[in-house]
Amino acid sequence: MDRTHRPRRLRTDGIRPLVSETSLSASDLIAPVFVDATTDERVPIGSMPGHSRVPVSGVVERVEEVLETGVQAVMLFGIPEEKDEVGSRAYAEDGVVQRAMRAVSAETDAYVVGDVCLCEYTSHGHCGIVEDHAAEDPTLTVKNDETLDLLARTAVSQADAGADMVAPSSMTDGMVGAIREALDEAGHDAVPIMSYAAKYESSFYGPFRDAADGAPAFGDRRHYQMDPANAREAMREVELDVEEGADVLMVKPALPYLDVVRDIREAYDHPVAAYNVSGEYAMLHAAAEKGWLDLDAAAHESLLSIKRAGADLILTYFAESVAATLSADSQT
């Protein structure tokens, strides 16, 4: 038989790393950090092993731990001391995230990204102002245009507090344009927007909602987050965000939507981000605890696949552990 073509020739130890097509580094990663205004000590997150909510007084120490692994960027999520119908603590000058951003920006060299949404701050857990009687009527949802001003105010308050980038995640139509206009008017024209351009109504968010105390008190988010069945719709969403001034385009979740990551990568020159979400993190931990997977190897392979699909940036709860493994491997 003809054996002219033998791909295995390029899989020996000497040549394998030289022909490797995709690499992963700590500079690709963004680490989420949860800041809790209701506690004065770290509170472990049961559904996300290795992660905790930290008090504002401890956020600098927490971010410094991230930086020690080689990861240079963090995204801050807040748990406020109180909630109301309009999520007013999301855009308060003395809000939990704003205080945390001032501290982190002043005392560390971290690149600080702010999540711009209202779900952690509203008493009903939805991502904006809800329609009247929404609690009783499942056909009702978030008021789109009325929510835009609150998102813009939140983004400006974060930029005022030292955010290097803002990341609107509410899937509100027109959010990027409203935020870009507000930032520019406030003198923050150099602050980029990383839009959650294709955010799906996913079953993989459960542990995050535990971590950020942001689950809806009623109903669900199907009226504003995307249908998991749709890929072409994602491209329409992305096109609109690009037109409105998005600087980075994010897909959330990551692993179940690698086809969408690839489609966006091929269609746009913008940096593409993917959010390796809490459920993706938790399921690997659960399998590893059963002895079914090597956690470090599975985590690295997962992030490598996201990068291979076309993501330039990966927001992941594995950021520190994978970065530490990459560093150790480089020294051997």
Give me the mean pLDDT over the 16-42 stretch.
Answer: 95
Residue 1 in domain: no
The annotation status of 317 as a binding-site residue, yes or no, is: yes
Q: Judge whether 209 is annotated as a binding position.
A: yes
- Specify the pLDDT at position 267: 98
CATH of the domain at 260: 3.20.20.70
Plot region of 143 (φ>0 → left; ψ -120 to 50 → alpha; else → beta): beta
- Does residue 38 sit within a domain? yes
278 annotated as a binding-site residue:
yes
> Residue 298 domain-assigned?
yes
The total domain count for the chain is 1
pLDDT, tens only, 129-170: 777 766 666 666 778 898 999 999 999 999 999 999 999 988
320 marked ligand binding residue:
no
**Quick one: pLDDT at residue 134?**
63
12 in any annotated domain: no
Q: Has residue 276 got a pLDDT over 90?
A: yes
Judge whether residue 127 has pLDDT over 90.
no
DSSP 45: -
Residue 10 lies in a domain: no
20 labelled ligand-binding? no
The pLDDT tens digits for 178-229 are: 999 999 999 999 999 999 999 999 988 877 666 656 565 555 556 778 899 9
Q: What is the pTM of this model?
A: 0.92
DSSP string, 176-230: HHHHHHHHHHTT-TT--BEEEEEEB--GGGHHHHHHHT---SSS-STTTSBPTT-
203 appears as a binding residue in the annotation? no
Whether residue 278 contacts residue 213, with contact meaning beta carbons closer than 8 Å, is answered with: no
Is residue 8 one of the residues assigned to a domain?
Answer: no
Could you tell me if residue 286 is inside a domain? yes
pLDDT of residue 119: 85
147's tokens: 């929510």
Which residues are part of the catalytic machinery? 199, 252
pLDDT of residue 139: 66
Answer yes or no: is 275 within a domain. Answer: yes
103 lies in which domain range? Answer: 22-331
